[in-house]
């Protein structure tokens, strides 16, 4: 096991604190005198130190093709500098101006009807945002032109901290330019039509291609084609972002770039996106409520961990809502304390910022009811409950400044691969719920975090040697060479966990032929997964653990949805099925290989059973726990370690369920009061605590 953890310098030396602020749209208010003065007065009062500017400002910056108006933006830069506020300057490519859409129709994306994919695609009208063709040479040219103008004008401004490329990249376009680019991408990937036909298994339903230009649509029955289309769309999106990053790097050297990502956004491989930006940032909108065990609460911790893992370093929380959102069917107010809890939760998992959408609510448009720091009541905003919570949070963030750049000492990793999720989605069958890999990974994440461990979410390309436990939750598609890497990991002492639906297809989406899990994993786990039983939603089976009596893990655990019938060819049986015709057959196995262990979980275990199994597995692998107590799944306990070795322990309760946590050791002090102890922490509704511990003096 390697020890390659280290802390990081702040993203921008001129702004070495936790960034607090966010999406500011003064160009909506240019005809409302006094508003911008009021904004800056309130920013100061609320402890705002960073604004993200110009995200949808293309029409204000370039009202006619080639004619730029920077006066209003110059004014904001000056005010920011005067007030010691930094600016994350956006490129405006997330929303196009009317003149562009009208003069150059090719920039408007073409869409296909999902229910009847064989019908020719249609071109969209100019409306909404985030709907451009990423292939269009005209779009690329016009975007590069405005980006360059911004870089030349503001690239050296002392208030500029970072670039924010576009906004929430996503979607796909089915225009002739995109299809031509897809065909070129295929030629580069396969070289010959023969290789393409082989990879796509086009003998099926007479789909063999005799010429490249026969690739004219995306045919859902050619699953290899769907998988490659998803790869191409991802490639094209990342390439578009890289094009923007190149312009900015060239014309404003030394300023880092980011683009705001979206959790497990299905549209592009964010591990690839991570390679073309300098900083990871993402937009996080938890809808916390008082339902314990809610998907929302847990899903966001997982997404934070994913974002930290993308570049294996701290990230930026680019958007969150200081108040209710406006786009859910029910938009509840944030309960007192919730804003702090969700903000500190992001810091806990690796964010060096708390940024918002939005700084001020507009008077019109479809986001006028979305939470903001400055409300419709204008000057009276400082009396509002949410403003006061934002103001209070800014004081806490100032106290937490030493956390900037601190790392997360994760020794446990879950493997996540966008290509895997696309391949499973593209597959007709086997079972919809099992194709939702985010759901599966979340189950394992939740079961693991109940034991107070930090968890990374890693790509199969990543070096595994830092980890003690690596889990492959339904890693249906295996990238070439990954199975061999798993073998090395286990032989060197690692604990590997495979689940049902792991190792079924190769990188083309073609099934492995010599027994599942394929590509050598059958031998590593010592298991042959012969056939998979998918259950109706109301059906249950049970598994019985086979550990000696007296073990913490005895008795039965309910299983649902997926039950693989496996043969323990060279592995110890740890649990067996209780019911159905496969009663008595193995359901969980473990094989010792070299210095490590390879576990196989053949069925979807109910949460408590899975957590109990992980307790045993983590103990066996000697993974250190952050606290002594086992935690309820909704509580977030995580750690960051600063450059001087000080450890920060975050205890977050995003629900109203009270919890007691036994810390196990008594060296912790409160980060805000600096008081020592107590050893047992009572965490009330929406409570968030931060503790710290100095490294032992050697």
| Position among 48, 325, 611, 617 found at the interface with ligand GLA (CB under 6 A) | 325
- Kindly state whether residue 599 participates in binding ligand GLA, applying the rule CB under 6 A: no
Facing residues of 261 across strands? 282
168 binds ligand GLA (CB under 6 A): yes
Q: Which does 57 bind (CB under 5 to 8 A by kind): Zn ion, ligand GLA, none?
A: none
Residue nearest to ligand GLA according to CB distances in the complex: 283
Residues 6+ apart with CB under 8 A from 513: none
Cα separation, 92 vs 687, whole angstroms = 38
285 binds ligand GLA (CB under 6 A): yes
Query: Taking a C-beta distance cutoff of 8 angstroms, is the pair 123, 175 a contact?
Result: yes
62, 168, 419, 604: the catalytic one is: 168
Q: Is 131 in the site for ligand GLA (CB under 6 A)?
A: no
58 binds ligand GLA (CB under 6 A): no
For residue 585, the partner it binds in ligand GLA, Zn ion, none, with Cβ less than 5 to 8 A by kind, is none
Look at residue 255 and give the partner it binds from Zn ion, ligand GLA, none, a contact being a CB closer than 5 to 8 Å depending on partner kind: none
- CA atoms of 325 and 347, how far apart (whole Å): 21
- Residues comprising the chain, all counted: 698
CA separation for the pair 374, 382 (Å, rounded): 8
DSSP 360: B
Minimal distance in Å, beta carbon 130 to ligand GLA? 9
Which partner from the list Zn ion, ligand GLA, none does 319 bind, CB cut-off 5 to 8 Å by kind? ligand GLA
**Cβ neighbour number for residue 83 with a 10 Å cutoff:** 15
Nearest to 603 by CA among 683, 505, 529: 529
Residue 510 in 3-state DSSP? coil
647 binds, among Zn ion, ligand GLA, none (CB under 5 to 8 A by kind): none
Nearer to ligand GLA, 367 or 539 (CB): 367
Q: Which of 38, 81, 367, 580 binds ligand GLA (CB under 6 A)?
A: 367
Tokens 């298994």 found at: 201
- Residue 558 makes contact with ligand GLA by CB under 6 A: no
Report 155-184 residues binding Zn ion (CB under 5 A).
173, 175, 177-178
Identity of the residue, 154 or 285, whose beta carbon is nearer to ligand GLA in the bound complex: 285
Q: Which residue has the tokens 């929406």?
A: 686
Query: Shortest approach of ligand GLA to residue 359 CB, angstroms?
Result: 12
Nearest CB to ligand GLA, comparing residues 167 and 659: 167
Strands (E), 102-170: 110-111, 122-123, 160-164
Interaction of residue 169 with ligand GLA, rule CB under 6 A:
no
Task: Provide the minimum distance between the beta carbon of 320 and ligand GLA in the complex, in angstroms, as a whole number.
Answer: 9
CB of 365 to ligand GLA, least distance (A): 10
Helix (H) or strand (E) holding 246: helix 223-251
The verdict on whether 168 is a catalytic residue reads yes
Sole binder of ligand GLA in the list 269, 283, 389, 578 (CB under 6 A): 283
CA 488, CA 482: separation in Å to the nearest integer?
10
Told to check if 357 binds ligand GLA by CB under 6 A, we report yes
Nearer to ligand GLA, 376 or 425 (CB): 376
Q: Which CA distances in Å does 472 have to 42, 469, 548, 619?
A: 48, 10, 27, 19
543 binds Zn ion (CB under 5 A): no
Residue whose tokens read 């990238």: 479
Q: Are strands 586-593 and 50-53 parallel, antiparallel or unpaired?
A: unpaired
Taken in order 391, 394, 399, 400, the sign of the CA dihedral is: positive
Q: Please indicate whether residue 223 is annotated as part of the active site.
A: no
Q: Could you say which of ligand GLA, Zn ion, none residue 173 binds, taking C-beta under 5 to 8 angstroms by partner kind?
A: Zn ion
Beta-bridge partners for 236: none
Asked if 167 interacts with ligand GLA (CB under 6 A), we say: yes
Does residue 370 touch ligand GLA according to CB under 6 A?
yes
- Choosing from 133, 413, 532, 612, the residue that interacts with Zn ion (CB under 5 A) is 133
What number of H helices and E strands is found in the chain?
18, 27
> Within a 10 A sphere around the Cβ of 63, how many other Cβ atoms?
13
CA 11 to chain centre: 20
Distance separating alpha carbons of residues 567 and 658, to the nearest angstrom: 44
User: Which of the residues are catalytic?
Assistant: 168, 319
- Site for Zn ion, rule CB under 5 A: 133, 135, 173, 175, 177-178
- Site for ligand GLA, rule CB under 6 A: 167-168, 283, 285, 319, 325, 357, 367, 370
């Amino acid at each position: 096991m390697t020890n390659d953890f280290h802390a990081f310098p702040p993203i921008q030396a001129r702004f070495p604190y936790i960034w607090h602020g966010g999406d500011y749209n003064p160009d909506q208010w240019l005809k409302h005198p006094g508003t911008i003065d009021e904004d800056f007065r309130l920013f100061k009062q609320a402890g705002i130190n960073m604004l993200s500017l110009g995200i949808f400002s293309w029409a204000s910056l370039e009202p006619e093709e080639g004619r730029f108006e920077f006066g209003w933006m110059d004014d904001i830069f000056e005010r920011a500098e005067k007030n010691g506020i930094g600016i994350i300057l956006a490129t405006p490519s997330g929303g196009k101006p009317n003149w562009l859409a009208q003069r150059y129709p090719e920039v408007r994306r073409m869409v296909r009807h999902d229910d009847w994919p064989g019908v020719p695609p249609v071109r969209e009208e100019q409306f909404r945002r985030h709907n451009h063709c990423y292939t269009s040479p005209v779009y690329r040219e016009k975007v590069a032109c405005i980006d360059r103008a911004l870089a030349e004008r503001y690239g050296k401004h002392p208030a500029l901290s970072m670039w924010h490329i576009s906004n929430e990249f996503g979607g796909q376009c089915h225009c002739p330019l995109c299809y031509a680019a897809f065909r070129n991408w295929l030629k580069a990937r396969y070289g010959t039509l023969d290789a393409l036909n082989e990879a796509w298994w086009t003998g099926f339903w007479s789909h063999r291609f005799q010429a490249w230009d026969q690739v004219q649509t995306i045919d859902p029955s050619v699953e290899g084609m769907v998988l490659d289309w998803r790869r191409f769309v991802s490639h094209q999106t990342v390439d578009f972002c890289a094009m923007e990053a190149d312009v900015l790097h060239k014309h404003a050297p030394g300023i880092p770039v980011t683009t705001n990502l979206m959790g497990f956004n299905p549209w592009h491989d964010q591990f690839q996106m991570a390679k073309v930006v300098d900083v990871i940032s993402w937009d996080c909108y938890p809808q916390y409520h008082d339902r314990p065990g809610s998907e929302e609460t847990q899903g966001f911790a997982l997404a934070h961990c994913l974002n930290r893992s993308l570049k294996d370093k701290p990230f930026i929380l680019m958007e969150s809502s200081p108040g209710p959102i406006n786009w859910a069917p029910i938009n509840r107010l944030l309960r007192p304390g919730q804003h702090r809890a969700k903000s500190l939760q992001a810091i806990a998992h690796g964010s060096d910022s708390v940024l918002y959408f939005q700084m001020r609510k507009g008077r019109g448009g479809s986001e006028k009811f979305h939470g903001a720091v400055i409300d419709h009541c204008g000057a009276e905003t400082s009396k509002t409950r949410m403003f006061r919570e934002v103001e209070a949070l800014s004081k806490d963030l100032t106290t937490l400044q030493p956390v900037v750049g601190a790392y997360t000492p994760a020794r446990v990793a879950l493997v996540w691969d966008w290509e895997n999720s696309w391949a499973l989605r593209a597959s007709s069958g086997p079972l919809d719920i099992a194709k939702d890999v985010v759901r599966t990974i979340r189950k394992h994440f939740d079961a693991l975090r109940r034991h107070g461990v930090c968890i990374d979410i890693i790509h199969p390309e990543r070096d595994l040697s830092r980890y003690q436990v690596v889990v492959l939750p339904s890693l249906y598609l295996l990238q070439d060479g990954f199975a061999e890497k798993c073998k090395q990991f286990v032989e060197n002492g690692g604990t590997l966990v495979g689940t049902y639906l792991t190792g079924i297809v190769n990188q083309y989406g073609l099934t492995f032929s010599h027994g599942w899990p394929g590509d050598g994993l059958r031998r590593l786990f010592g298991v042959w997964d012969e056939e998979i039983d998918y259950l109706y939603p109301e059906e249950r089976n049970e598994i019985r653990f086979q550990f000696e009596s007296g073990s913490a893990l005895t008795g039965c655990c309910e299983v649902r949805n997926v039950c693989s019938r496996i043969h323990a060819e060279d592995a110890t049986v740890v649990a067996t099925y209780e019911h159905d015709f496969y009663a008595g057959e193995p359901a969980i196995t473990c094989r010792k290989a070299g210095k490590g262990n390879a576990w196989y979980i053949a069925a979807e275990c109910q949460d408590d059973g899975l957590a109990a199994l992980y307790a045993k597995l983590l103990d066996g692998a000697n993974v250190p726990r952050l606290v002594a107590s086992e935690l309820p799944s909704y509580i977030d306990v995580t750690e960051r370690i600063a450059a001087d070795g000080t450890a920060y322990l975050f205890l977050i309760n995003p629900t109203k369920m009270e919890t007691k946590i036994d810390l196990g050791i008594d060296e912790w002090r409160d980060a805000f009061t600096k008081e020592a102890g107590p050893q047992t922490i009572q965490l009330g509704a929406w409570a968030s605590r931060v503790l710290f511990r100095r490294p032992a003096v050697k």
